[in-house]
């Protein structure tokens, strides 16, 4: 009986001992491997370390401002503003005092251009009056007059991968993230970072920027996306049957809830209809030329204007 018992307990004991021996051998092998290759393992860990800042990025959110960003804005941006102003001042002096050769010829041609534009203005005035009359007749609500803050461009993102610019208006002046930036020529970009006296906007030509657009002539709707170099944009999700031609004006549709409706984006410069597929491709040239921009306007009234009840107006 005892022999039987001892036989039944001896086998698991032997297994346990074997397991223990195996574990200690594995541990020894591991520790030897770590001791021999610790330098290599350390390097592997170092190469994996940049994954930490990568994982901390939250793509859909606006980049939040850290204490360092604010501190740097107090020092770097004013100096950059002084440099920009000094360069512009020097360029102004050069253009107005040293480059007067041919100014009289230019003056003459400009005078002729003004006369031409004045005649065009008269016809536009007629059209505006007609439009006003028709709108009143149809009791259509007026598009809200945009309230804006003027800002001067003081610098641009030095990296080159993104078309981001700094302007000299910030939260103190009422600027908030996601506010649209426009110019008399058309839309320019969207505010992404706001400091107390400065802010950063990303231009519509930047690859990360998209605007909901439409063609007033055919009412075709699509998304325009920046492409970076050559400062063009492309039209995404453009229905194959949409009527679109080279030279068409593209305006904002207002559906993205960022840009007000009817602002100029640019002109179609290329249309490509592939043999297959349900969409067509098109390229546009934005009407606001970044190379010559010095001042921009930040649109501050983005709240939807309540539509007046037309029935009451008609009744009155």
Partner 1 sequence: MNMTQKRWLEIPILLAIIWFCQALELSIVHMPYYLGTPQIISLIVAYISFSRGWASTVLLSAVFAFIGSANIGYATGFFIAAHIWSALCTKTVVSALTLEGRPAFALLVAGYNFFLKSLTWTILKSVDASPTLSLFFAQFISQTLIMAIVAWLLFPFFQKWDDYFMHASDEDNLRQSTLLR
Q: 107 or 230: whose CB is closer to partner 1?
A: 230
Among 168, 183, 192, 252, binds partner 1 (CB under 8 A): 192
Q: 203 or 220: whose CB is closer to partner 1?
A: 203
C-alpha to C-alpha distance for 101 and 122, rounded to whole angstroms: 34
Q: Does 55 bind partner 1 (CB under 8 A)?
A: yes
Q: Does 278 bind partner 1 (CB under 8 A)?
A: no
Q: Does 56 bind partner 1 (CB under 8 A)?
A: yes
CA-based torsion, 51, 53, 54, 56: positive or negative: positive
Residues 195-254 that bind partner 1 (CB under 8 A): 200, 202, 206-208, 227-231
Between the alpha carbon of residue 152 and those of residues 94, 294, 316, the distances in Å are 21, 6, 46
Q: Does 293 bind partner 1 (CB under 8 A)?
A: no
Q: Does 160 bind partner 1 (CB under 8 A)?
A: yes
Q: 7 or 48: whose CB is closer to partner 1?
A: 48
CB 233 within 8 A of CB 226: yes
Between the alpha carbon of residue 276 and those of residues 69, 241, 242, 272, 281, the distances in Å are 49, 13, 15, 11, 12
Strands (E), 175-289: 180-183, 186-194, 199-203, 210-214, 221-226, 233-236, 249-252, 264-272, 281-286
Q: Does 162 bind partner 1 (CB under 8 A)?
A: yes
Q: Enumerate the β-bridge partners of residue 239.
A: 279
Among 146, 148, 156, 249, binds partner 1 (CB under 8 A): 156
CB 203 within 8 A of CB 310: no
- Indicate the burial class of 142 (C-beta count within 10 angstroms; 0-12, 13-18, 19 or more): exposed
Among 43, 111, 128, 261, binds partner 1 (CB under 8 A): 43
Q: 208 or 302: whose CB is closer to partner 1?
A: 208
Query: Least distance (Å) from partner 1 to the CB of residue 188?
Result: 14
Neighbours of 65 (CB within 10 A): 14
Binding site for partner 1 (CB under 8 A): 38-39, 42-43, 46-47, 49-51, 53-57, 59, 63, 68-69, 72-73, 75-77, 79-81, 83-84, 87, 154-164, 166, 192, 200, 202, 206-208, 227-231, 290
């Amino acid at each position: 009986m005892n022999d039987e018992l001892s036989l039944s307990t001896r086998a698991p004991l032997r297994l346990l001992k074997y397991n223990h021996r195996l574990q200690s051998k594995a541990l020894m092998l591991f520790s030897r491997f770590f001791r021999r290759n610790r330098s290599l393992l350390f390097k592997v860990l170092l190469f994996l370390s940049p994954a930490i800042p990568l994982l901390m990025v939250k793509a859909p959110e606006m980049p939040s401002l850290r204490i360092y960003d604010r501190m740097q804005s107090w020092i770097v941006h004013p100096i950059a503003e002084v440099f920009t102003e000094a360069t512009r001042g020097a360029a102004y002096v050069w253009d107005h005092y040293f480059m007067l050769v041919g100014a009289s010829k230019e003056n003459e041609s400009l005078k002729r251009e003004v006369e031409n534009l004045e005649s065009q203005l008269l016809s536009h005035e007629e059209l505006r009056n007609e439009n006003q009359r028709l709108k009143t007749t149809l009791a259509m609500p007026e598009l809200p007059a945009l309230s804006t803050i003027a800002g001067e461009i003081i610098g641009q993102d030095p990296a080159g991968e993104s078309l981001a610019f700094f302007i000299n208006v910030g939260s103190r002046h009422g600027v908030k993230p996601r506010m649209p930036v426009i110019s008399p020529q058309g839309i320019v970009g969207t505010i992404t970072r706001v400091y107390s006296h400065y802010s950063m906007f990303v231009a519509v030509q930047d690859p990360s920027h998209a605007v909901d657009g439409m063609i007033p002539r055919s009412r075709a709707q699509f998304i325009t996306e920046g492409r970076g170099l050559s400062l063009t944009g492309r039209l995404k999700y453009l229905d194959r049957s949409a009527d679109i031609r080279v030279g068409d004006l593209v305006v904002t549709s207002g559906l993205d809830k960022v840009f007000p409706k009817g602002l100029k984006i640019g002109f179609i410069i290329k249309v490509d209809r592939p043999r297959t597929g349900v969409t067509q491709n098109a390229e546009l040239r934005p009407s606001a030329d970044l190379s010559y921009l010095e001042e921009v306007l930040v649109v501050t009234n983005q709240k939807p204007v309540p539509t007046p009840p037309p029935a009451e107006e008609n009744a009155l």
